[in-house]
Amino acid sequence: MKKMMKKTFCGAFALAIACGAFGCASPNDIGNSNTQIQVDEKRTQLYVFNFDGGYGAEWMSTAIAEYEKLHAEDVYEEGKVGVQIIPTHTKKTREGAEILSNREEVYFTEAVQYYQSINDGAFADITDIVVKANVYEQEKTIESKMTQEQKDYFGYKKDGKTIYYGIPHYSGAFGLVYDIDLFDEKGFYFKDGYNPSDALEEHFIYDVNDKKSAGPDGVKDTSDDGLPATYTEFIELCDYISSIGLTPICWSGANYSGYISMLYNQLVVNDAGLEDSLMMYSMEGTADKLGVVNENGEFVRDANPTTITADNAYELYRHESKYKALEFLRKIIKTEKYLNETAFTNTHEHTTAQDDFLWSGKDGMTKSMAMLADGVWWQSEANETFKAMGTQMAAWSKENRNLGWMPLPKAEQKDQKNVYFDHLYSMCFVKKNIASWKLPLAVDFIQFVHTDENLKMFTKTTNTPKAYNYEMNASDLAELTPFGRSVLEYKQNADVLYPFSSQAKFLNNQSMFTAGEGYKATIDKNDVIYPSMTLHEKNVSAKTYFEGMYTYYKKAWGTLR
Partner 1 sequence: MAIRKKRKGLQNNRNDLIFYCIIMAWPVLQFAVFYIGVNFNSILIAFQDIDIVTNSYSWTAKHFVNGFEKMLSPTQLTMAKNSILAYLITICTSIPLGLLFSYYIYKAMPGAGIFRVILFMPSIVSSIIMVSMFRFFTTDAFPAMMRDFFDITMKAPLDDKSTRFGTVMFYNIWVGFGTAVLMYSNKMSTIDPAISEAASIEGAKGFSEFWYITLPLVFPTLSIFLITGMAGLFTNQINLFSFYGVSAPESVQTFGYWLFREAKRATKDGLAGYSELSAIGLLLTFIAVPLTLGMRMLIEKLGPSED
Partner 2 sequence: MKMKSGTIGQVPTINQKKSRGSKSRFTLLTVLMLVVLIVYSLSLFALFFYGFITAFKCGKVGTLEYRLEYYPGNLYGLPKTWYWNFGFVFKNFVVEGTDPMGVGAPVKVGMVQMFGNSILYSLGCSFCNTFVMCLTAYGCARFPYKFSKIIHTTVIIVMIVPIVGNAPAELEMAIRFGLYNQIWGMWIMRANFLGMYFLVFYDIFKSLPTAYTEAAKIDGAGNWAILFRVIFPLIANTFLTVLLITFITSWNDYQIPFLYLPSYPTVAYGLFTVVNSKIKGMETTPMRLAAAIIMLIPILIVFLCTQKRLLGNLTVGGVKG
Residue 474 amino acid letter? A
**CB 116 → partner 2: shortest distance, Å?**
21
Q: Which does 207 bind (CB under 5 to 8 A by kind): partner 2, partner 1, none?
A: none
Q: Binding residue for partner 2 (CB under 8 A) from 350, 460, 466, 491?
A: 350
**In Å, how far are 53, 341, 349, 355 from 338, measured between CA atoms?**
29, 9, 19, 18
**CB 116 → partner 1: shortest distance, Å?**
11
**460 vs 457: CA distance, rounded Å:** 5
Q: Binding residue for partner 1 (CB under 8 A) from 120, 125, 284, 479?
A: 120
Q: Binding residue for partner 1 (CB under 8 A) from 132, 362, 527, 555?
A: 527
Contact between 8 and partner 1 by CB under 8 A: the answer reads no
**CB 293 → partner 2: shortest distance, Å?**
38
**81 vs 519: CA distance, rounded Å:** 53
Contact between 65 and partner 2 by CB under 8 A: the answer reads no
Q: Binding residue for partner 1 (CB under 8 A) from 87, 253, 273, 484?
A: 253
Using CB under 8 A as the criterion, what x/- string covers residues 80-119 for binding partner 2?
------x-x-xxx--------xxxx---------------
Contact between 366 and partner 2 by CB under 8 A: the answer reads yes
Q: Binding residue for partner 1 (CB under 8 A) from 344, 405, 470, 519?
A: 344
* DSSP state letters, 419-436: EEE--S--EEEEBTTS-T
Contact between 363 and partner 1 by CB under 8 A: the answer reads no
Contact between 351 and partner 2 by CB under 8 A: the answer reads yes
Q: Which does 413 bind (CB under 5 to 8 A by kind): partner 2, partner 1, none?
A: none
Pairing relation of β-strands 291-293 and 427-430?
unpaired
Contact between 526 and partner 1 by CB under 8 A: the answer reads yes
**CB 387 → partner 2: shortest distance, Å?**
7
**CB 441 → partner 2: shortest distance, Å?**
19
Distance of CA 304 to the CA centre of its chain: 36
Answer for the pair 472, 520: CB distance below 8 angstroms, yes or no: no
Binding piece for partner 1, criterion CB under 8 A, among 206-214, 237-245, 300-308, 344-352 = 344-352
Q: Which does 561 bind (CB under 5 to 8 A by kind): partner 2, partner 1, none?
A: none
Identify the CA nearest to 379 among candidates 461, 306, 296.
Answer: 461
Contact between 525 and partner 1 by CB under 8 A: the answer reads yes
**CB 251 → partner 1: shortest distance, Å?**
14
* Residues 6 or more apart in contact with residue 62 via CB below 8 angstroms: 457, 461
Contact between 185 and partner 1 by CB under 8 A: the answer reads no
Q: Which does 158 bind (CB under 5 to 8 A by kind): partner 2, partner 1, none?
A: none
Our CA angle for 328, 374, 464, nearest 5°, is 125
Contact between 38 and partner 2 by CB under 8 A: the answer reads no
Pairing relation of β-strands 83-90 and 44-51?
parallel
Contact between 7 and partner 2 by CB under 8 A: the answer reads yes
Under DSSP, the state recorded for 34 is T
Answer for the pair 91, 53: CB distance below 8 angstroms, yes or no: yes
Identify the CA nearest to 9 among candidates 23, 25, 17.
Answer: 17
**371 vs 339: CA distance, rounded Å:** 10
Helix axes 452-462, 58-70, angle to 10 degrees: 150
Contact between 509 and partner 1 by CB under 8 A: the answer reads no
Answer for the pair 428, 50: CB distance below 8 angstroms, yes or no: no
Contact between 511 and partner 2 by CB under 8 A: the answer reads no
Helix axes 320-334, 542-557, angle to 10 degrees: 130
**464 vs 449: CA distance, rounded Å:** 16
Helices in 338-438 by DSSP H: which ranges? 350-359, 378-381, 383-392
Contact between 537 and partner 1 by CB under 8 A: the answer reads yes
Contact between 511 and partner 1 by CB under 8 A: the answer reads no
Q: Which does 366 bind (CB under 5 to 8 A by kind): partner 1, partner 2, none?
A: partner 2
Handedness of CA 351, 482, 267, 462 (dihedral sign): positive
Helix or strand (DSSP H, E) at 415: none
Binding site for partner 2 (CB under 8 A): 6-7, 10-11, 13-14, 17, 20-26, 29-30, 32, 34, 36, 47, 86, 88, 90-92, 101-104, 347, 349-352, 355-356, 359, 363, 365-366, 382-389, 392
Binding site for partner 1 (CB under 8 A): 97, 120, 253, 344-347, 524-528, 533, 537-538
